[in-house]
Amino acid sequence: ETGVTQTPRHLVMGMTNKKSLKCEQHLGHNAMYWYKQSAKKPLELMFVYNFKEQTENNSVPSRFSPECPNSSHLFLHLHTLQPEDSALYLCASSQGAGGSSQETQYFGPGTRLLVL
Amino acid sequence: EDQVTQSPEALRLQEGESSSLNCSYTVSGLRGLFWYRQDPGKGPEFLFTLYSAGEEKEKERLKATLTKKESFLHITAPKPEDSATYLCAVGGSGNTPLVFGKGTRLSVIA
């Protein structure tokens, strides 16, 4: 397995369900990111972790809960979501975090989420 | 506040018809401008990073250039497989997160 992987690739959930998205990077990077991509909108940064520490929470509702147990794995726990949360959720990693010369981000394939 | 505007929103080209995509930006000190390609249902794929005005980078039929206010992605003699959405992102001074544009959706017709 190489690069950044995400599971599941597709997810349908009801508003009362609890689910988790998983991301794993095989690049030896130290920073990991969650983004939300909706139609006709730019990529929206949700969370940033650098060396397992959360360094950015972009005013994300508490129904999204990130977890970073180590530099290679990142989770996004979902509960009581709303239909407007339906989107493509992208994970990315970089060697360094913002402000460093090694901040080029590499993305996973995304999880297409549909909330009913 | 850092801002990125990409134009056009969509572009349709005949195979072999060269053109350019634009990324205009406003940042308080540019630390890097990034170009990505995104195919439908997939994550963005990194293409280039540009750091200073006057810098140029090339990859196959793509060439990215940078000025103090904008970047261009030139596509020379495009092929149908170049069809994708091209995203631009900028990083401002300090540790501010990257800001992405909405992208340009390119269609190359055989």
pLDDT, tens digit, for every residue of B46-97? Answer: 999 999 999 999 999 999 999 999 999 999 999 999 999 999 999 888 778 8
Distance CA B50, CA A98 (A): 15
pLDDT in tens, B34-57: 999 999 989 999 999 999 999 999
Length of chain B: 110
DSSP codes joined into one string, B5-17: EEE-SEEEEETT-
CB distance A107–B43 less than 8 Å? Answer: yes
Identify residue B27 by its one-letter amino acid code: V
pLDDT at B15: 98
B1 inside 8 A of chain A by CB: no
How close does chain B come to A48, measured CA to CA in Å? 9
Neighbours of B49 (CB within 10 A): 18
How close does chain B come to A4, measured CA to CA in Å? 10
Which long-range CB contacts under 8 A does B58-66 form with residues at least 24 apart?
A: B64/B35, B66/B33
CB distance A110–B42 less than 8 Å? Answer: yes
pLDDT at A40: 85
Contact between B50 and B57 (Cβ < 8 Å) = yes
CB distance B98–A42 less than 8 Å? Answer: no
pLDDT at A99: 60
> pLDDT in tens for each of the 116 residues of chain A?
579 999 999 999 998 889 999 999 999 999 999 999 999 899 999 999 988 888 888 889 999 999 999 999 999 999 999 999 999 999 999 998 766 567 899 999 999 999 99
pLDDT at A98: 65
Mean pLDDT of B2-11: 96
Of B42, B91, B103, the CB nearest to A109: B42
Contacts of A58 in chain B (CB under 8 A): 97
